[in-house]
Amino acid sequence: MINVEQTALVLEALPDPAFILSRSGKYVAVFGGRDARYYHDGSGLVGLRVSDVVKAEKANWFLEQIELALESGKLLIKEYELSQKDVKGLRDEGPEQSIWFEGRIQALDFLVGGESVVLWVASNISERHELEVKLREFSDTDQLTGLFNRRKLERDLTLHHETFERHSVPISILMFDLDHLKKINDTHGHHAGDELIRAVGDICLPELRKTDTACRFGGDEFVIALPNTELEHALQFANRLCERFRQGLSRFSVDGVSATVSFGVAMVMAEDRSYEDTLKRADTALYEAKRRGKNQVVSV
């Protein structure tokens, strides 16, 4: 059996910091955090409250997790981030790189100062989180164009359709594909066809907002989801993008006929049971654009 002094030494030697926090968010005790690569000395936190250290929104989140752990009595595991903008007394400007933590929160069977308390062990998982983000981006990205792939699009469209059903937020969908790709493949080879498809991504990406989802849907077919966009504005965007393609793809040609792009545009409607109904209408509009002579935008 180890004695009290030895137990204290073990607690102090913990690589990750362990906090005893009261229901009201008071730092009762701090142990460990000896891995100097990731942590600073936290002993100065004792006696302070979480709301003294971080700003209101983040402090409220910490208090919510403490309450959940106390109510359930079970181990609660949460991933969270902290940036300099969350911490009081630090300037907002400057690098915004966040530190990611995994918090393990467990209710303790005693009171301190008449308050229930939890053990909160915080592990720095920034490197793991960054790797997970990169792997997720890799799995969601079409390697030829740099656009997203169909799997990512389907997830986003599902969420957009749910948002439309709950809050009536407008969502428009552009579906487009290349005109004359087969001729270019047959004349110049599939390498030239790949270059043409890659050029579509290069032209498309700078035109997008952060909230837009553009993907290579398959072969030479592409889809862009435009959240918070009415049909009128989606048509304006499609016509502008069509002109960008007309100019940017002109170097790809066969017998004087340059590669162009045809567009179909549709907006989510109340009767759409899922995003697939909207996508089908955009596909119908794309077919009509092809029928009318290609290199144009059609909506339904």
Torsion over CA of 40, 46, 52 and 58, rounded to 10 degrees? 60
Per-residue CA distances from 39 to 32, 42, 125 (Å): 10, 8, 12
The string of pLDDT tens digits covering residues 18-66 is 999 999 999 999 999 887 787 888 889 999 999 999 999 999 999 999 9
* Section 140-165 average pLDDT: 92
Q: How far apart are CA 172 and CA 151, in angstroms?
A: 18
Per-residue CA distances from 117 to 23, 112, 159 (Å): 6, 7, 38
Write down the pLDDT at residue 128.
83
Is pLDDT of 70 > 90? yes
Whether 88 and 51 have beta carbons less than 8 Å apart is answered as: no
Q: Which residue ranges form the domains of the chain, and what is each CATH number? A: 4-131 (3.30.450.20), 141-299 (3.30.70.270)
Is pLDDT of 253 > 50? yes
| β-pairing verdict for 76-82 and 221-227 | unpaired
User: Which of 75-84, 145-154, 275-284 tops mean pLDDT?
Assistant: 275-284
Is pLDDT of 294 > 80? yes
Name the pLDDT band for 94 (thresholds 50, 70, 90): very low
Write down the pLDDT at residue 88.
84
H-helix segments, the chain: 4-12, 50-53, 56-72, 126-140, 150-167, 181-188, 190-204, 231-248, 275-291
The two three-digit tokens of residue 116, written as one number: 């229930």
Is pLDDT of 84 > 90? no
Which residue, 102, 225, 222, is CA-closest to 156? 225
Which residue, 149, 146, 173, is CA-closest to 297? 173
